[in-house]
Amino acid sequence: MESQEGTLPLGSLNIEQLQNVQKSTEQEVQSLTEQLTQLTTAQQRILSSKRLAKEFGKQPEGKEILLPLSGSVYVQGKLCDTSTAMVDLGTGYYALKTLEEAEEYFQRRAAVIKDNVDKGTQALVQRRQMYEAVTSVLQQKMAAAQRQGAS
């Protein structure tokens, strides 16, 4: 068996080296899993924003609403223009967009995030396979060492 990079057969590593590779691979798997969770959450928020932009245009002007100032503080307000929305572009930048432009923007963002999720998922599968291969070789070497020690 060879490592993911194809540079060194796993069978040529000693137990300590295999344990180090196993530990680092396990950390990579955990990190990738966390990143994918964050990306999936971001993707859901973006798609929710897209749906809300679509529904917002159906609301009558003058409708009373509650505007969030924070996660737990709201103020009363009235809709005065339901044809445009202020869109958070990230890093403190906002843009006034028509609802169609907002929907298109959110769709593009969701597509980019989906590509990143797909790539991350592929990398995670490869890292998990690597982890399983290292674990298998490590178990074989440890069993062989125990047999030699018992002899």
Segment 37-82, tens digit of pLDDT: 999 999 999 999 999 988 888 999 999 999 889 989 999 999 998 8
Could you please state the CATH topology (level 3) that the domain comprising 15-143 is classified under.
Answer: Helix Hairpins (1.10.287)
Q: Please, are residues 145 and 15 in contact by the beta-carbon 8 Å criterion? A: yes
Please state the domain extents for the chain. Answer: 15-143
**What share of the chain in percent tops pLDDT 90?**
75
Prediction pTM value: 0.76
Report the candidate in 95, 77, 78 with the shortest Cα–Cα distance to residue 86. Answer: 95
